[in-house]
Structure formats: C-alpha cells, structure tokens
A = this chain, B = another copy of it.
Amino acid sequence: MNAIVQEKTAQAASILKELGVDCWLTFVRETTAGGDPVLPLIYGHDLTWQSALIITASGESTAIVGKFEAETARRTGAFQTIVSYDQSIQPHLLEVLDKFNPKRIAINYSLADVYSDGLGHGLFQVLTGFLEDTPYLDRIEPAERIISALRGRKTPSELERIKTAIQTTEEIYQHTFAAIQPGMTEIEIADLMQAQVRERGLETAWEPAHCPAVNSGPLSSAGHVGPTEIKLEPGHLLHFDFGVRQDGYCSDIQRLAYLPSSIHPEPGSELRKAFATVVTAIQRAADALKPGVPGHKIDQIARQTITDAGYEEFKHATGHQVGRQTHDGGGILGPLWDRYGDTPNWPVETGQIYTIEPSIIHPEVGVIALEEMVRVTEHGAEFLCEPQTELVILRS
C-alpha cells in the first residue's frame, strides 16, 4: 500500500466527476521501457504485459493485468477489481467496458502536455484495433485535463514531500554560500553542492550534468549547459539553478550572489536595477496568480515588467509546475508560443505548485534570474520557499 497511490486514485474519480467524463482508461505495456508517466501516481509499480487501469466517475476501479502481476495489483490496495489473463487482454478489456458502457472514454494522449501523452502511437493503434467494431472507438478522447488536474492538484502527502525538498534545497544553498571561496571554478562550486546531495542520500532534481547550473560573471552562458572552468572572481555575479528530488518529489530554485571586489565593494547600479526588476516581476506575477486565470496572463505580467524596464524579453516561460518532476507538465505560465502548444491557455487551479522565474541576461553583468516556488490557494499564491529580495553578498 502506497499513500500517494491511494490518495491519487481517489482524487481521479472526483476529477472525472467534475469533468463529466465517465471512464478513464490507462493502457500500458512493458513500462520498464519508460512507460506512462501517470503510472507512479495511480499504480506505483511497473507493468509487463499489456495492462489496463480503468477508473470511473462513479469511483469503480479495475486493473486488467497479466497473470504474473495479479498479486502485485492486488497489493496496491487501489483497485477494487483485478482481472488477470494469460494470452490476450482484448476479451477482458471489452468485458469491462461492456459492464460500464461509458459514453466518454479518456485515454492518455495529448498534443500539448507530455505527462498526459504516455500512450505510444503504436500502442494507440493496438488499442483502437481492439475496439474496432465496438461503439467505444468513437467515444475516445484525450485524458489531458484529467491527468493534468491529477498531477497538478497536490494531495497532502505530496505537498508535504515538496516542502521537505524545498527545505533541503534552502539548507544546501546556505551551506554553499558560506563555503564558497573566490577563485573556485563553476565546476568546483557545483561539486560542492552535489556532494551535499549525495551525503543526504538524495538525487538532484534534474540530470546532474546541469544540476546545479552555476554561472559566474558575464562570460558564462545561461541555460542548459553544465558548469564550466570559469572562475569566480571579485566583482562577479554568481547565478545558481538547483533542486533536489526527495521521496519522489522535486524542488527548483534559482539564487543570486555577489562577490565584492576592491573597486566594487557594492553591486553596481546595472546589477541592482536588473535584480530589482526581477524581484518586482516575480512579486507581480505572484500577486496575479489566482485560480481560473490562464497561465499566459501571468506570464505576460512578468514578461512585460522585464521589457518595460528596457531589457530584452526572456526566451522561456515565466513558470512551470513542479511535482514528481522539475518540469511537471500541465498548464504553464508561458507565452502563446508554438512550442508550448495549448498549455498557456489552461487555467490555474487550486493546489497546483508553480515556479516563477523571469530572467535578464545582461552582457556586462551575466545571468540575473531568480526562481521562487509558490502554491496556488483559493485566495492566491503562497510562497513555499523564502523568496530572495536581496543579493547574497559572499565573503571576499
């Protein structure tokens, strides 16, 4: 029995009811190959043969699994009916569908949301082949709104785990700020942080080659390239992007620190202005983050704060959801660009957890970016981390 699976399968039935979809069908096979990303939420194990997890709006849950996995399915405690088979899943699948005769059958594909697109195109063809000559073929629709609500609306156990990951991240940042020495390379600083992750028996929130990202001074490139041999020198702005995965859930926080030089014991005016602009953009986005608002409106508020201050528009979304993954899919606080598909139009929902991370790349200063984590409540955004409003000043 797994608390998250229990909470999530119960939540799924209520989301189905809310959306007026009477049946949600997750169809998978050999999930050790990567599998459907929804599986850890509603099952918690791998599945080997073609398997179907069927949840209805009326709260009935059925797992159809290969013979050897029936006992594991039973032990999840999340499925009332377990059907096992030897050779073909098809007759069992049709029997269960006939029992419920659903008018709407949501399956796991989505043009916009990768976490709702767990059904491979080939396996989709297998499934529709099974449903040929039945009325169910025409009742299929994408499950993206179900899955994004399920992933996004954190249950109490999920919120607790994310808060713990955030606390760990803040502690590692504090230890790192105290331990950094002038002259260290970006790689050495990153190693310092990764050692703390390992000591705690944890893993980084995204691939270790880029977690943390460390950018020292104006010559270090922003974005998804790993730390380099560039050294932290007096007068450098030091930018971090870092998070941990703890008990299956992630954090994702960016921080900024300044190493004073004898000529510039204080941050220069360019840096101070850009820093203040980023802080303001975050605060304005957080103030506007309320249930029902489409994500692109929040993005626009942060984006315009940056461009109104005379800086170039940042080339990424203002924020994304965080959960089992750092970039947890679903609705995004992003602009209406092709590559985000429809997800910036999706409304913000109570219980979701977002980052807010506007950025400025200044050719003479470097990467000026902060990233805070907030939770959406009925009344608006609640900061889950202590937001950074002053530059960290390093010992020189």
Chain A residues in the interface with B (C-beta under 8 A): 29-30, 32-37, 45-46, 48-50, 66-69, 71-72, 86-90, 109-126, 129, 142, 144, 206-207, 209, 221-226, 315-316, 325-327, 329, 337-339, 341
Contact = CB atoms under 8 A, between A and B. Distances in A.
Given A33-B329, A116-B122, A209 B45 contact: yes
A186 to B, nearest CB: 14
Contacts of A224: 48, 68-69, 71-72
A132 to B, nearest CB: 14
Contact of A87 (B116, B142, B337): B337
Contacts of A30: 114, 327, 329
Contact of A121 (B34, B35, B69, B121): B121
Contacts of A115: 33
27 contacts: A30-B114, A30-B329, A32-B206, A32-B325, A33-B114, A34-B34, A34-B37, A34-B118, A50-B339, A67-B315, A68-B223, A69-B224, A71-B225, A86-B315, A109-B120, A109-B122, A111-B122, A111-B126, A111-B129, A114-B123, A117-B120, A119-B120, A119-B121, A120-B120, A121-B123, A121-B124, A122-B144
Nearest to A29: B114
A94 to B, nearest CB: 13
B122 A339 contact: no
B122 A120 contact: no
Dominant SS among interface residues on chain A: loop
Nearest to A130: B338
> How many copies of this chain sit in the oligomeric assembly?
2
Given A29-B114, A86-B315, 7 more contacts: A32-B326, A48-B224, A87-B338, A111-B122, A113-B122, A121-B123, A124-B124
Nearest to A116: B122
A352 B16 CA distance: 45
Given A33-B37, A207-B45, A329-B33, A111 B88 contact: no
Contact of A325 (B33, B45, B326): B33
A166 B123 CA distance: 32
A115 B223 CA distance: 30
Contacts of A71: 221, 223-225
Instruction: Name, among A30, A71, A120, A144, the residue most crowded by chain B CB atoms within 10 Å (CB to CB).
Output: A120
Given A35-B34, A72-B225, A48 B121 contact: no
A34 B315 CA distance: 25
B121 A109 contact: yes
B207 A46 contact: yes
Contacts of A90: 338
Nearest to A113: B122
A326 to B, nearest CB: 7
A228 to B, nearest CB: 10
Contacts of A223: 67-69, 71
Contacts of A207: 32, 45-46
A21 to B, nearest CB: 17
A183 B307 CA distance: 72
A102 B166 CA distance: 49
